Chains A and B, each alone.
Chain A
Amino acid sequence: MIKYIFKRILSLIPVMLGVAFIVFTLLYLTPGDPARIVLGDQATEEALHEFREKEGLNDPFLVQFGNYVWKAVTRGDIGRSYMTRRSVANEIMSAFPSTLKLALSCVIAAIILGVPIGILSAIRQNSLFDNVTRFLAMVGLSMPVFWQGVLLILLFSVKLRWFPSSGFDTWATLVLPTLTLACNPLAVITRMTRSSMLEVVRQDYIRTARAKGQSERIVIWRHALGNALIPIVTVIGLQFGTLLAGAVLTESIFSIPGVGRLMVDAIKMRDYPVVQGGVLFIAITFSFVNLMVDLLYAWVDPRIRAQYK
């Protein structure tokens, strides 16, 4: 098991190098002179030149990339933001807690609601409940976050005054962003649970379990759900990974100081070090979540566990 985890972590190295190279190339090819954007309209040519020299922007592409990788590997230094002069790691780490808070609350809400609804839908296939659920899941998938966020604000902040429309310091400020952002993962998890359960409940071992005289509760929750869990865990992992990468629109609608907003701001201002560091961070987070999901497989499925032994 340990060996497997170690191997997986090692395999991250080429992934990271690849990601870094692609981001670096794309940024290099993007029009827009960081010096001019950072220093502003009224900066002198001399100041612009000084900035480019200092930040190594005049170096050839490969030299820039080599320097970046070298510093990252030897010193763990992924650069300093052009805009704030703080280290990129600091910038990301100060934005990440907000994103993590939001992602966790969304995923938890989506699991608590999505899995039971999916199961019920599957057990009562083609019932009114199932049809309504499927319809709502479709709505949840197709609703644009931006529109939905504003509607929620109008209802709950302006009309009812139950929750604040922006800020991120109390539990109440978490409610509307979670409602907005959880819709999509909720719909995905519900649909996946439903289809996975439908497949499992037709298997022979379920019939056997029922024939043994097991109570329906145990049949569904232990025998069926246990076996249906793998694809569900996979989508939960993917959704969580996506949420951790920062929900750009939701974060700006509700003024949440998270990774998504940090990245958009950095891209607009050509703050290359922050964009590079941010993308690397997202790639690492995503890979890490995937690793966790794989380990979860082992947890939920004894067959997989057996392979590692």
Chain B
Amino acid sequence: MKGNSRTKAAVLAVSALVILGLAAVPALAKDTLTIANIYDARSLDPIIQNEVAASGAICHINETLIDLDAVGNPVPLLAETFEQIDPTTYKFTLRKGVKFHNGDPFTAADMLYTIDRAKSPLGSAIKQYPEIIESAEAPDDYTVIIKIKYPFTPFWGTMAHTSLAVVNKRAVEEKGDMYPLNPVGTGPFFMKEWVKNDKLVLERFEDYWGKKPEYKTLVMRSVPESVNRTIELETGAVDIAYKIPTADVSRVKDNKDLGVIGAFEHSVTYMGFNCEKEPWNNPKVREAVKLALDINGARHAVFRGTSLTPVSIVPPTIKYTDKDLPAPARNLEKAKQLLAEAGVKLPLKAQIWSNAYKPRVDLAQIFQAQLKEVGIEVEAKVLEWGAYLDGLKLGDHDMFILGWVISSVDPDGIMSGIIHTKGGSNYSRFYNDEVDKLIDQGKTMPDGPEREKVYMDLQKMLAELNPVLYLYNEESFYGIRNNVDNFVPSPRGYHNLTGVTFK
């Protein structure tokens, strides 16, 4: 304990060094594109996590055999050509001369390894995608034959999902546990630096097989506060800010250096009824609620006129959506009459559950006021996400507000997920044999007018039976600086930025 002052000085000096030590100024030249997203990827291993933030990063590093265009049709990526040989067999001919970031050539063996790995217990988070695959084989270095368990039309969507993005066997085995921090792929960018929850820095891969990005460095920052994303855009610290809140849209629009792009995703938010429970098991009561609500007005108020009120469960970005179904219209008299016909004793007490996502809470409160007019006294209950899902599983609920994202880019995604009796998220407990039969049929039929008819029929039936009411297709806003060009948000919710250019 001698030499106190010297020790104190040393402590101070070390502390000062720690604080100032990492003062490395990032280069912000024109060859760097910086974007601000809400979240950081949880892992850069394609099979660890099923989330938009991870897919948005991985799609720049690892590539799939095929990609989907805006309407969900397959387009070539690492596979030069592809075809469906019979209802359960697909053939992919791989591109030659493709290199991984570590210099290894890309061959069919890598794809087989990728599929095996995705199907292993390590891939439990994304299991639903490769699960359909029965077997995969490689007759030669550049051909992959995949057999699936049963005819499954949305299979192209499976193959285009980032969970089946090709990884390099040698890199995965060498890096072991550290692989998610050091991913290796064939994509247009390789990973340079990753400070978790702060920023991911990707660098252009000079040996990329396709069209290389015009800029050199891609920085993906995670900025959870929406106010900060807007501010960072205004101050020029980022070039593109994801998910600008509706309240900030006009402020960004009014700024002469900035622009706003609105985009819809393959998603719908709905209010489900507990169709197993009295009185919601009666379709008349469900219809009465639909007529008592002014869904369009509520959506207008909550989203300040943006977003859309759906007419169908199938979002407008997905094929076979029925745009001609009648829009929801309020009719209090008819609602009261239906309630009377159903023999419901008024006032009817009920709950609407939602998680804490603001638009959902706001909608539940508006509905509370609207339903009161027909004698339904609703309590709007906000639950924490884990408790919410648990409660829905137990089936104590009356009505609930939930969203669904269709990652397979096919109407089957939502039908099999939330409407089919066996649907993992059929929280409305809607069990209808006829509907199930149509869903099973649509899943296996080849695309074409017959398949279209199945989904048209399904949408009409659901509009009459009302197991769920469709509340909104949310519009997402992207703020961009005016010198940024060719940024096209994808309805999948994650965006490939390879083609972005500077003016």
Contact = CB atoms under 8 A, between A and B. Distances in A.
B421 interface: no
A146 to B, nearest CB: 10
B387 A31 contact: yes
A307 interface: no
Contacts of B228: 153, 165-166, 253-255
A85 B232 contact: no
Given A38-B125, A50-B127, A270-B386, 6 more contacts: A95-B197, A153-B227, A167-B199, A168-B198, A169-B199, A257-B198
A41 interface: yes
Contacts, number: 172
Candidate in B4, B26, B197 with the most chain A CB atoms within 10 angstroms: B197
A150 B228 CA distance: 9
Interface in B203-237: 221-225, 227-228, 231-232, 234-235, 237
- Which 4 A-B pairs give the minimum distances between C-beta atoms? A32-B386, A257-B197, A31-B387, A47-B127
Contact of B48 (A31, A33, A84, A108): A84
A30 B389 CA distance: 13
Interface in A271-308: 298-299, 305
B9 interface: no
A170 B235 contact: no
A104 to B, nearest CB: 5
B291 to A, nearest CB: 29
A41 B122 CA distance: 18
B19 A30 contact: no
Contacts of A46: 127
B131 interface: yes
B42 A83 contact: yes
Nearest to A178: B19
Nearest to A45: B424
A158 B229 CA distance: 12
A44 interface: yes
Contacts of A87: 177
Contact of B235 (A51, A104, A161, A262): A161
A50 B121 CA distance: 8
Interface in B1-41: 1, 4, 12, 15-16, 18-20, 22-26, 36, 40
Interface in B391-450: 391, 393, 404, 407, 413, 417, 424-425
B386 A104 contact: no
A116 interface: no
A169 to B, nearest CB: 6
Contact of A51 (B40, B124, B198): B124
Given A100-B18, A252-B225, A253-B228, A39 B199 contact: no
A98 B21 CA distance: 12
A86 interface: yes
B385 A268 contact: yes
Contacts of B36: 166
B26 A169 contact: yes
Contacts of B102: none
A104 B124 CA distance: 40
A157 interface: yes
B18 A104 contact: yes
A42 B425 contact: yes
B127 A37 contact: no
A268 B222 CA distance: 17
A84 B49 contact: yes
Given A51-B124, A105-B19, A253-B225, A165 B386 contact: no
Given A54-B121, A104-B19, A169 B195 contact: yes
Contact of A255 (B19, B50, B225): B225
Contacts of B232: 164-166
B191 to A, nearest CB: 15
Interface string A149-180: 01001000110010011111111001000000
B424 A41 contact: yes
B62 interface: no
Contacts of A194: none
Interface in B37-56: 40, 42-43, 45, 48-51
Interface string A96-107: 001011001100
A268 B330 CA distance: 37
